[in-house]
Amino acid sequence: MLAEGHPHAWNIDRADEHLRAGFRNRRLADGGRLVVTPQMRQLAAGMPAWLRRGGAIALSGPWGAGKTTVLEALAAVADVNTAFVTIPGRAKTEAAQWYYITTAITGTEATGTARQMQNEAREYCTAVPTLLIVDEAQHLSTGSLLQLRWLWELEFPRFAIVLAGSDLFERLHAEPSVRERIDARIPLHAHTPTRMVELLQQHHPIAAATDTHLLHQIDQAYAHGSWRAWSKFLLCLATDNGHTGALDYDTAATAILSITGTRPALRTPGAERTADGRPASQPTPRGGR
């Protein structure tokens, strides 16, 4: 979070400079940088207006599509109190869910009934401009969603809420009174292999130096278009093992083995193999198989 009026406020191109240390250490390998996406630009460009009118935005996409990274980039350039909360699947009741929400908003541990915590959040937002970011919002109960709708309809100095989660649009569709009050819906989709490789080469120097054929194979055998999986892979290489420069096939396979426990069959171009594991170009031994 930036100070109010900071020159980088809502400038998404400066988000990489202000990412939370915890997120950077968990998701960005040494030498990596944030890749700004159209969804990040849409959120950051619209947020000043949404804050003025109490806007609500929904962000939905599959696991690994980059939802958390989009949210962290937005939080990095916010110049209001930014309450970032992840709703765990085990938090089933309104009281459990509002414990996480109110604690994030106020910065102090919430106590009391769900209604008491909701009122505490309301009183805080009355005094402090706030952007509330709720990740894994598909876990919110109907009661919690309705109370959040009540919250963003109140008159605050500046307030907006971003709900994010897998299959969130379907979840909101089941709650018409909430669905109809969403100001913008921003979908995230899994990237095609070619687009994933392009983004990776912008994201980290190891990927930029590595043969694209190998990157495609890693994506096919291991990452499957998931930013989260690629983050683990690059963290393993650059941060845990100090690797720099281009990858070779053996190093890439060893890194995947250390993450998954299974060594993938990565092949150099033209090195296709027969069913018994021999290079296709190698003749069958005399006497047959």
Which region among 40-54, 115-129, 227-241, 259-273 has the lowest average model confidence (pLDDT)? 259-273
Give yes or no for a contact between 222 and 264, defined as CB atoms under 8 angstroms apart: yes
pLDDT of residue 276: 45
Report the mean per-residue pLDDT for the chain: 90
Write the single-letter amino acid at 96: A
pLDDT of residue 270: 62
Mean pLDDT of 186-201: 91
pLDDT of residue 273: 47
- Enter the tokens of residue 17: 């400079």
pLDDT of residue 281: 45
Give the chain's length.
289
**Residue 35 above 80 pLDDT?**
yes
**pTM for this model (two decimals):** 0.86
Q: Cβ neighbours of residue 49 under 8 Å, at least 6 residues apart?
A: 55
Q: What is the pLDDT confidence band of residue 190, given thresholds at 50, 70 and 90? A: confident
pLDDT of residue 157: 87
pLDDT of residue 275: 42
Mean pLDDT of 101-130: 96
| Torsion angle of the four alpha carbons 136, 81, 118, 49, in this order, in degrees rounded to the nearest 10 | -80
3 state SS of 132: strand
User: Above pLDDT 90, what percent of the chain?
Assistant: 78
Q: pLDDT for 147-180, tens place per residue?
A: 999 988 888 989 999 999 999 999 999 999 999 9
**Could you tell me which of 216, 202, 218 has the C-alpha nearest to residue 250?**
218
Mean pLDDT of 63-85: 94
- Angle at CA 25, nearest 5°, toward 106 and 90? 50
> What are the C-alpha distances in Å from 88 to residues 18, 69, 107, 203?
26, 18, 18, 29
**Residue 215 above 90 pLDDT?**
yes
Can you tell me the distance from the alpha carbon of 78 to that of 50, in angstroms, rounded to the nearest whole number?
13
Is beta strand 56-60 parallel, antiparallel or unpaired with respect to 159-165? parallel
Give yes or no for a contact between 3 and 77, defined as CB atoms under 8 angstroms apart: no
